[in-house]
Amino acid sequence: MKRMTFSSLGALAAVAVVAPVHAQDGEAVGEALAEQDSRRDGGGRIGRISPYIEASQVVTAELSPGNDVVTYTQVAAGVDATVQGRNTGASVSIRYEYNIGYGDASDSNTLSGVARGYASIVPQVLTVEGGAMAARTRVDGNGGSTLNPLIDEDSDSRIYSVYAGPTLHTRAGDAEINANYRIGYTRVDAPDAVQTAPGADPIDVFDESVVQSAGVHIGTSPGRPLPVGLGVGAGWVQEDISNLDQRVRDMHVRGDVSVPVTQSLAVVGGVGYEDVEVSARDAVRDADGNPVIGDDGRLVTDTSQPRQIAYEADGLIWDVGVMWRPSSRTALEAHVGRRYDSTSYYGTFSYAPNRRSSLNVSVYDSVSGFGNLLTTALANLPTEFNATRNALTGDFTGCVDGAEGDNCLAGTLASVRSSVFRSRGVAANYGVNLGRLSTGIGAGYDRRKFIAAPGTILADANGVVDESYYVSAYLSGELGRNAGFTTNAYANWINSGFANSGDVFALGGSAAYSQSLFDGLSARAAVALDHLDSEISDEDLTAASALLGLRYDF
């Protein structure tokens, strides 16, 4: 049995997703204590800060193909905080964990969490926002990022991402003016050599990238002053990826119109010009023409050669659609048009019949690198949330439970290959709060068609398609005033189009129970069963895990 640690990342819309635990282990017990930390000051600010420490004993037993058993002592410290004011809003969940292994188990440490917030520099005019995420996942030989909690030393990968930028909102007469700028950074610390199937090429895992975006839009609403709404806008996005000096650059300008049909329904459309270009350099070659691999396990970029075009599309873009908002709790926006030299579909639907339940569906289509996709997903998270965490480890699962409904980093972790791709898919989730109980389910599909320059080491990746599917569900609640529980289940599939790369299937579930003892101290117990079927390996892996520990909420 390989030395195993626990994954700290699962995302409802990732290609292989550890199903979200609605609340971290012990949260149901500590909710009353957390409420005591809530406070309102003269500025209208509401805050909740909940620091904690934990100490636990973890055992993992391999059920197949072997029967090894490993144990850990786990110590952790973290804080969950939410601040909402008149001109500020932020939520933070951060945790540092250290695992002390015994026998064949190795020591490990992990920093995981998520943060999202904003601050108004000029109220209702100029706002600065930002977000960050740190997590750990598993990298398989097909380049997929699976989130099964069984990770060995050869597949352990750390993902870090952060972004920030200002947003301007003002008016000039009847015209509404919106502008924004955002800069983000993403890094993947991956193992030097990812195990691949026999005959498969080495995986060039994403290293790091810097992404910048800017946009401006000026528009009027129907009836102010014309019967229809008119607008004009422009945007720019550029991602610079360190692997082979890849670059994605997208610039556009367009005009749009909104024609009201009824008070709740409008037909919308737009037309404009867009210039998209993806380029990269080749790898350094040795005397035999083979690519040179650096000490970090990634291809060495040949900076002496000119940049080569992998993809370009410029010309007319257009789309038409509908916007339907029959109430403040229901909204539908659906578009079809022409972009990236092909038909494009995108849209969103949200439905919240009451404060206790919500349904969210999104359809997306973009050309991007891994970093841009992740920072965009971070920016779409709400600023008021509770981060969901793994029942056994307490690690961030990639999803948050917010006032606007459950939200996940949809589709972002389907692959950590460095190649740029066109990503299309759909993600849906439904959550409901039943008083003492909370439950939810999520499902999604993500399709990535990779883009690479001909004549380079990545040329074989051009046009290859990876597909991923997932479904997950959770149930959590309180058992009286001093106890709580969480349960979850998940199933995830990765179908890779790369030759000899193999598919991956992950299935499992977990349950946790917490009991308040006194003065913020609670006892914790959790069990989990996980199965990983990967064609990269000759044998499937099934393991059961259990945890006993104590938690103290300050």
Distance from CA of residue 262 to its chain's centroid?
37
> 3-class SS at 328?
coil
Instruction: Give the pLDDT of residue 16.
Output: 33
Peptide bond into 227 cis (omega under 30): no
Closest to 525 in 3D by CA, of 497, 545, 554: 545
Instruction: Give the pLDDT of residue 405.
Output: 52
Instruction: Give the pLDDT of residue 408.
Output: 73
pLDDT tens digits for the chain (554 residues)? Answer: 444 433 333 332 333 333 333 333 333 333 333 333 444 444 456 688 999 999 999 998 989 888 888 898 999 999 999 998 889 999 999 999 998 988 777 788 889 999 999 999 999 899 999 999 998 876 665 555 554 455 555 567 889 999 999 999 999 999 999 999 999 999 998 765 454 444 555 567 889 999 999 999 999 999 989 999 999 999 999 999 999 999 999 999 999 999 999 999 999 999 999 999 999 999 999 988 888 888 877 889 999 989 999 999 999 999 999 999 999 999 999 999 999 999 999 999 999 998 888 898 999 999 999 999 999 989 988 888 888 787 787 778 777 776 565 577 756 776 788 899 999 999 888 888 888 888 888 888 999 999 998 888 888 889 999 998 888 888 889 998 899 998 888 888 888 888 766 788 888 888 999 999 988 999 999 999 988 887 766 778 898 999 999 999 99
Count Cβ atoms below 10 Å from residue 67 Cβ, excluding itself.
9
Task: Give the pair of three-digit tokens for residue 414.
Answer: 């389907």
Instruction: Give the pLDDT of residue 386.
Output: 81
What is the torsional sign of CA 58, 529, 511, 146? positive
Domains annotated on the chain, with CATH: 4-553 (2.40.170)
CB 408 within 8 A of CB 10: no
Instruction: Give the pLDDT of residue 402.
Output: 65
Give the pTM.
0.85
Instruction: Give the pLDDT of residue 201.
Output: 57
Region of 275 on the Ramachandran plot (φ > 0 left; ψ -120 to 50 alpha; else beta): beta
Peptide bond into 225 cis (omega under 30): yes
CB 147 within 8 A of CB 14: yes
Instruction: Give the pLDDT of residue 145.
Output: 56
Q: Measuring CA to CA, how many Å separate 317 from each of 228, 235, 430? A: 21, 13, 33
SS3 percent helix, strand, coil of the chain, rounded to 5, is 5, 65, 30
Distance from CA of residue 498 to its chain's centroid?
23
